Amino acid sequence: MPSIRLTEEEIRYVALFEKITGITPRDTVIDPQYNRIIFIVDKNFAPLAVGKNGINIRKLKELTGKDVEVVEYGETPEELIKNSLYPARVISVKITKLPNNGSIAIATVHNEDKAIAIGKQGRNINRAKLLAKRYFDIDRIKIVSPEQSQ
């Protein structure tokens, strides 16, 4: 796993997130392309971070002026990609090394969840790509349906 250094701006967002949710995030990623902040929290802490009916996320969005997303950390690339594509139901994730030293992850998703996995304007798949690259140096993610994965 590459070493991750937070910028001053990210550290300020971490402090704000902690103050509002009471949870210390593992990491923070600012995504200017989609005007959002992605907080990575430990396993099982996402519901607490989001708060009842999303109250904490709404408060953070109001204070930062950016969309706020919470993703649970995964110890393996497969687990992290699965978590970052939530709420899509991911059946499996397979990592393949490419000849040019890169890697590609192929996520098999239920047909009816394919659009959710990709997200509006590619938001969700982009979030998964950002996190997979940041933590496990995976270059690409491809979403396939069960029929395509055989």
Give per-residue pLDDT as tens, 61-72: 999 999 999 999
In this predicted structure, the answer to whether residue 128 has a pLDDT above a threshold of 90 is yes
Helix, strand, coil abundance in the chain, percent, nearest 5: 45, 25, 30
d(CA 138, CA 146): 22
All domains of the chain, ordered by start, with CATH?
Answer: 8-72 (3.30.300.20), 77-144 (3.30.300.20)
Tell me the whole-structure pTM to 2 decimals: 0.92
What pLDDT does residue 5 have?
Answer: 83
Residues in the chain: 150
